[in-house]
Each structure stands twice: as C-alpha cells, then as structure tokens.
C-alpha cells in the first residue's frame, strides 16, 4: 500500500502595495511595480526548488499573503496557481486563501480568482469609519469595503474573512461597536479582530514617539475586546483563537497549521518556513530574492542539485524551544493544549519544564486546567503576553504574585 502523504501548507508572499499603511510592519513595499514581471516567475521557480523535498507531502492549505496579493493580475495569478499545481500534489478540498484590499475587489477580478480555484477571501477592511481609515492610511472608504464584500458574494465566494482593528487612537467604545455591528450585518464566515499594536519602525510608532499621537489606552482596549467576545458569541461566531472568530466549520485551516506547529513552506521575499525540523527565512529584498532564486534555479538546471540561495537564515530549534513553542502557540487557541498530546510528543507533560510558570499563572488567574487541557482564562486571553513571556525558554522567573 502507498504510504499516507503528510500534510503540508504553503504560504506565498507577494510584497507589493500601492501605498504602505502607517501601522504596517510586514515585509511590503510601494513603488516596486517594475519588479512584478520578474517576481511572478521567481515565485514559481522557488516552488520548484522546494518540490523535491515535499514529494511525500500533500498540500492541504495555500495562503497568498502580502503586501497586496489582489494587485496581482489574473494572468500572473494563473501562472502562480498553475505552477503550484504542476509541481505539488494538492488535496481536492484544499483551502486556498487570498488576502485582498477592498480597492481591488471588482466583480470581474473576483470571478477570475474564483475560477482559478481561490476559495477563501480575506479582506483587509480594518474599520468601517472613513476618518479611522484615513488615520490608518488605508486607500479605501467604508462604502468601498462594503461593496467589496457584496462583490465577493456575487462572484461566488462562500468563505469570506474580514480583518478589523480595534483599540485605535482616541477610539471610544461606541465607534468600535459601530464597525463591528456593520461587519456582523455583512455576515462574513470569519472575523479577525486585532488590537492595534504600535510596532517599532512604522510611521505610527514615529508619530507616537514624537508625541503627535497618543498611545492606545489599555483600559479602553480591554473594554472593547470583552465587548467583542460577548457580541460575536451572541451573533453565532465561535472564538477559536485570541483574535479569530468563525461560523462553525469555517476556522482558517492555514492559520491553525501555525498555531499547532505543523510544517509549512513559505515562498517569496521574506517568507518563513518550518519544515523538516528547521526554521528558515528568505531574504527580505524582492530584488535580491529574484536574483538569488534565479541563480539557484540555474545551478539546479546545470548540475541537478545545488542550494536554496534565497534563504537568508535558519536554525534547527532545540527541544526546549520546540516545547515552549508548542505551549505558547497552542495556548493562543481556545481549545488550549492537551496534556496527553503534549506528553505523547515530548515524553512528559508541560509541567515538567514549565511547572513554576504554570502554577504562577493558575494563581494569577490567567491559566486554567479544564478536562486535561491547559487554557487561558477569559482574563488570560486579554493578558496572554504576560503568560507567554514566562514560557520562553530563557525566561527569568517572575516574582511570585
């Protein structure tokens, strides 16, 4: 009998944007449109460079992220999808997600994407108030976002996510409630609701540091998050991760791979992989990425072997890191971490390495044990980073509460 194919997820990074948003710290670039004609074939070539290592795997999820993948022309998208399907075994029911900005969501473009097999759309809405969208440097209006969701439905998408951001600067609870109520009215299958984080290196960080903008108020953010949890439960959404809610059966399968520490390959500039026990990261610069992938491709054609020159760095995580990762990533999920499954994987339960931190957060009320699973409490979901910091492999023990 044939050995069972192992599951694999693929992440494809498309780093181009029409404009960089003030809060964004992703590997994305504006003004590099001239690179697009070289970038698409380089992506397909990198998929080819990885393919021999993935022979015994079957692709269950594909995620096209960015940047703004929806800026990619249908011709280029067809080249990418065909290149992937030609070189990998893809499950018939694979989840194919594409990140999109409302500005690109014309019905014609969406119908083309749907025809190529893209079956899940993740729309970067962020807010449904025009003044907030301006603050975030978004290029679309609230009305355009609503039209984009309707266009997705008309094009046949029956699995739609909306990304929303709360905890905006000077945002009262009622303003966030207005955005979420309108989003619920649009009935997406999935909602990702993130608290605004002021990331170093972003325009927003610079504005806050300079004193032009105040920092988000943690008490307001907490109130907004708690209201969000209650409101979405009432609307029939299941929360399955700190920032993610879905209709039953519509959790994002691709992101679950990350949180369950399962293998994935990332292709594209700055993409990360976790494969065969190694963590790898591609070079960030799209220009350099194209040059290195092409050099690796030519080397392989000439010699039948060679290296993956586009990989800028990598590591083989040690056991302590893998144990911490499994716990931290697993605790992001509301199902938490099964003691039994953890012990099966690492030979002992989580308490063996993290007993002190776990006990401390039982006492702080941020962690609980329910039916043999370690889980964050309601308060723990809000203050998750306080728990995670104590679980890092080199964490200093915090003073007892």
Q: pLDDT tens, 186-229?
A: 999 999 999 987 666 666 655 666 666 667 677 888 999 999 99
Q: What is the dihedral of CA 119, 121, 122, 126, to 10 degrees?
A: -160
For position 398, what pLDDT does the model report?
Answer: 47
For position 132, what pLDDT does the model report?
Answer: 86
Helix (H/G/I), strand (E/B), else coil: 387: helix
Structural domain spans, the chain: 6-259, 319-391
pLDDT at 21 over 60: no
pLDDT at 365 over 60: yes
- Decide if 374 contacts 334 (C-beta within 8 A): no
Measured distance CA(118)–CA(94) in Å, rounded: 10
C-alpha separations of 57 from 4, 5, 148 in Å: 9, 5, 35
Cβ neighbour number for residue 292 with a 10 Å cutoff: 22
pLDDT at 287 over 90: yes
* pTM (predicted TM-score): 0.92
For position 393, what pLDDT does the model report?
Answer: 75
For position 400, what pLDDT does the model report?
Answer: 43
Determine phi and psi for 33, rounding to 5 degrees. Answer: -55, -30
Pick the CATH number of 319-391 from 3.30.470.20, 3.40.50.300, 3.40.50.1100, 1.10.10.10: 1.10.10.10
The mean pLDDT of 162-177, rounded to a whole number, is 92
Q: What is the pLDDT of residues 375-385, one digit of tens each?
A: 999 999 999 99
> Strands, E, within 277-378: which ranges?
278-282, 311-315, 337-338, 367-370, 373-376
Measured distance CA(331)–CA(338) in Å, rounded: 10
pLDDT at 397 over 50: no
The mean pLDDT of 91-108, rounded to a whole number, is 93
For position 219, what pLDDT does the model report?
Answer: 85
The mean pLDDT of 87-92, rounded to a whole number, is 98
Tokens of 228: 């969000």
Tokens of 75: 């011709």
Q: Where does residue 249 rank: exposed (0-12), middle (13-18), buried (19+ CB within 10 A)?
A: exposed
Confidence of residue 399 (pLDDT cuts 50, 70, 90): very low
Tokens of 328: 């931290």
β partners of residue 140 = none
Kindly provide the b/e burial profile for residues 144-176, where b requires at least 16 CB atoms within 10 angstroms of the residue's own CB.
bbbbbbebbbebebebbbbbbbbbbbebeeebb
pLDDT at 2 over 60: no
Helix (H/G/I), strand (E/B), else coil: 11: strand
Q: Which of 182, 169, 191 is nearest to 243 (CA)?
A: 191
pLDDT at 374 over 60: yes
Tokens of 307: 């290296």
Farthest-apart Cα atoms in the chain, separation:
66
Q: What is the pLDDT of residues 129-145, one digit of tens each?
A: 888 888 777 778 889 99
For position 135, what pLDDT does the model report?
Answer: 79
For position 23, what pLDDT does the model report?
Answer: 52
For position 140, what pLDDT does the model report?
Answer: 84
Pick the CATH number of 6-259 from 3.80.30.20, 3.40.50.300, 3.90.1150.10, 3.40.1160.10: 3.80.30.20
For strand 89-100 and strand 57-66, is the pairing parallel, antiparallel, or unpaired?
parallel
The mean pLDDT of 8-17, rounded to a whole number, is 91
Tokens of 371: 């039916």
DSSP annotation of 333? B
């Amino acid at each position: 009998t044939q050995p069972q194919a192992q599951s694999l997820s693929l992440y494809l990074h498309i780093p181009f944007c029409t404009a960089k948003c003030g809060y964004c710290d992703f590997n994305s670039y504006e003004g590099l449109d001239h690179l697009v004609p070289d970038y698409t074939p380089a992506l397909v070539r990198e998929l080819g460079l990885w393919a021999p290592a993935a022979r015994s795997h079957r692709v269950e999820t594909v995620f096209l992220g960015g940047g703004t993948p929806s800026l990619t022309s249908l011709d280029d998208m067809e080249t990418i999808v065909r290149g992937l399907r030609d070189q990998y075994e893809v499950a018939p029911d694979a989840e194919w997600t594409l990140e999109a900005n409302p500005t690109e969501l014309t019905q014609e473009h969406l119908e083309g994407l749907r025809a190529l097999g893209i079956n899940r759309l993740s729309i970067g809405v962020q807010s449904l108030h025009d003044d907030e969208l301006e603050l975030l440097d978004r290029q679309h209006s609230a009305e355009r976002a609503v039209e984009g969701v309707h266009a997705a439905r008309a094009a046949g998408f029956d699995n739609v996510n909306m990304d929303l951001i709360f905890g905006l600067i000077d945002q009262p609870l009622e303003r966030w409630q207005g955005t979420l109520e309108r989003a619920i009215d649009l009935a997406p299958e999935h909602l990702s609701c993130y608290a605004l984080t002021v990331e170093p290196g972003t325009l927003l960080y610079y504005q806050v540091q300079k004193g032009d903008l105040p920092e988000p108020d943690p008490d307001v953010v907490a109130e907004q998050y708690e209201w969000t949890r209650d409101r979405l439960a009432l609307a029939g959404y299941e929360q399955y991760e700190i920032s993610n809610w879905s209709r039953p059966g519509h959790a994002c399968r691709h992101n679950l791979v990350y949180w369950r520490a399962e293998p994935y390959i990332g292709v594209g500039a700055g993409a990360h992989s976790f494969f065969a026990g190694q963590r790898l990261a591609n070079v960030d610069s799209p220009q350099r990425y194209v040059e290195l992938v092409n050099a690796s491709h030519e080397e392989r054609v000439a010699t039948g072997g060679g290296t993956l020159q586009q990989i800028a760095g990598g590591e083989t995580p040690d056991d302590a890191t893998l144990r911490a990762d499994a716990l931290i990533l697993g605790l992001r999920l509301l199902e938490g971490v099964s003691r039994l499954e953890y012990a099966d994987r690492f030979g002992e339960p989580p308490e063996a390495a993290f007993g002190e931190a776990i006990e401390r957060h039982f006492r702080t009320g941020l962690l609980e044990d329910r039916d043999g699973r370690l889980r964050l409490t309601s308060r723990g979901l809000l203050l998750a980073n306080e728990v995670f910091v104590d679980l890092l492999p080199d964490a200093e023990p915090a003073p007892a509460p």
